[in-house]
Amino acid sequence: MAAGDAALRAEAVRRSVQMKADIVARDETEQGDRALLNLGHTFCHALEAATGYSDRLLHGEGVAIGCALAAELSARLGLCPQEDPSRIRAHLAQMGMMRDLSDISGDLPDSDALLALMAQDKKVLEGRLRFILMRGIGTSFVTSDVPLDVVKTLLDDALGARG
The pLDDT tens digits for 111-127 are 999 999 999 877 677 77
- In this predicted structure, what is the pLDDT of residue 2? 53
> Positive or negative, the Cα torsion across 69, 73, 76, 80?
negative
User: Residue 135 pLDDT more than 70?
Assistant: yes
Stated pTM of the model:
0.85
- In this predicted structure, what is the pLDDT of residue 28? 66
| Cβ atoms of 83 and 46 closer than 8 Å | no
Q: What are the residue ranges of helices labelled H in 33-130?
A: 41-50, 59-76, 84-94, 111-118
**Exposed, middle or buried, 163 (CB in 10 Å: 0-12/13-18/19+)?**
exposed
User: What is the rounded distance in angstroms from the CA atom of residue 8 to the CA atom of residue 67?
Assistant: 22
The pLDDT tens digits for 90-105 are 999 998 899 999 999 9
Domains observed in the chain: 36-160 (1.20.1090.10)
Please compute the mean of the pLDDT values over residues 29-47 and round it to a whole number: 78
- In this predicted structure, what is the pLDDT of residue 1? 46
Which tops the pLDDT comparison, 153 or 130?
Answer: 153
User: Residue 31 pLDDT more than 90?
Assistant: no
- In this predicted structure, what is the pLDDT of residue 65? 97
| Cβ atoms of 134 and 74 closer than 8 Å | yes
The pLDDT tens digits for 6-26 are 888 788 778 877 776 766 677
User: What is the rounded distance in angstroms from the CA atom of residue 45 to the CA atom of residue 7?
Assistant: 31
Question: Does residue 128 sit in helix, strand or coil?
Answer: strand
